[in-house]
Amino acid sequence: MFNLVIFGPPGSGKGTQSEKLIEKYRLVHLSTGDLLRAEIANKTPLGIEAKKFIDNGQLVPDEVVIGIIDNSLEKNKEAKGFLFDGFPRTVTQAKALDKLLELKHTVINLVVSLQVSEAELVKRLLNRGITSGRSDDTNVEVIRKRFAVYEKETSPVAEHYNKQEKLSPMQGGNTIDDTFHSICKVIENVLV
Ligand code: AP5
Ligand code: MG
């Protein structure tokens, strides 16, 4: 199995790069943001509860997203590998993921951390907000709140993987194709 985490602040290109990576490496894409938005669209109790946090730029509670990931791993027993996008987002989630993967006799192989300036991130998110319909993309205050939550709660996850020597920081401010090629190079170094 090959398991990859794509890590970075809101708007850094995690979803964009994931689409290309799952096609090339045949991985199962697990985006907690996408899975939560599907729950919201279906108006499930979980979705209704999660929407309150998302609209506010806050994280959904750890036990909720860990449960979603656990279910998704169970549903995809035949997968060659997983691409985790937007998860783990707290050190508690990272430790839970290590345990879930251990039960399946596998590990995270690589964590790609996309680095993009805040000015570029705001520009990308507001631009996407025009067409995405995402409630958390249209309000600059909510976007700033997402960055603050990222700094405080999510950035320590990088250190969790740095200690495991799995972290690969990468410039994410270049074109989509240039970033994709840089990620592929790092993956190929790990795959050999
Ligand atoms: P989530 O859906 O994960 O959103 P996010 O992390 O805030 O990140 P985005 O999806 O906004 O950005 P991205 O990095 O995927 O960038 P993208 O490729 O789209 O989470 C949303 C919310 O759900 C959270 O705030 C939280 O409430 C909740 N949640 C989710 N997971 C959770 C978890 N594990 N725990 C707790 N709560 C959780 O690109 C952005 C834009 O830029 C696009 O328009 C794209 O076309 C453009 N773009 C991409 N790359 C480039 C490039 N190189 N050059 C120019 N434009 C580019
Ligand atoms: Mg995304």
**pLDDT tens column, 160-187:** 999 999 999 999 999 999 999 999 999 9
* Residue 25 C-alpha from the chain's centroid: 17
| DSSP labels, 105-132 | T----EEEEEE--HHHHHHHHHHHHHHH
Cα-flanking dihedrals φ and ψ of residue 163, to 5°? Answer: -60, -30
In short, whether 18's Cβ falls inside 6 Å of ligand 1 is no
- Over residues 144-167, mean pLDDT: 98
Q: What is the number of the ligand 1 atom nearest to the C-alpha of 132?
A: 44
The fraction of the chain above a pLDDT of 90, given in percent, is: 96
Q: If pLDDT is split at 50, 70 and 90, which confidence band does 61 have?
A: very high
Residue spans of the domains in the chain: they are 2-27+79-191
Q: What's the pLDDT tens digit per position in 76-124?
A: 999 999 999 999 999 999 999 999 999 999 999 999 999 999 999 999 9
Residue 71 pLDDT exceeds 90: yes
2-27+79-191, which class in CATH? alpha beta
In short, whether 15's Cβ falls inside 6 Å of ligand 1 is yes
Q: Return the best residue to mutate from 18, 32, 146 for the ligand 1 pocket (most ligand atoms within 8 A of CB).
A: 32
Instruction: Give dist(CA 121, CA 136) in Å, integer.
Output: 13
Place of tokens 């590998």: 81
Predicted local distance difference test score (pLDDT) of residue 115: 98
Catalytic positions are: 14, 89, 128, 134, 146
Taking the CA of 13 as reference, the closest ligand is 1
Q: If pLDDT is split at 50, 70 and 90, which confidence band does 192 have?
A: confident
Peptide bond into 156 cis (omega under 30): no
Q: What's the pLDDT tens digit per position in 124-137?
A: 999 999 998 888 99
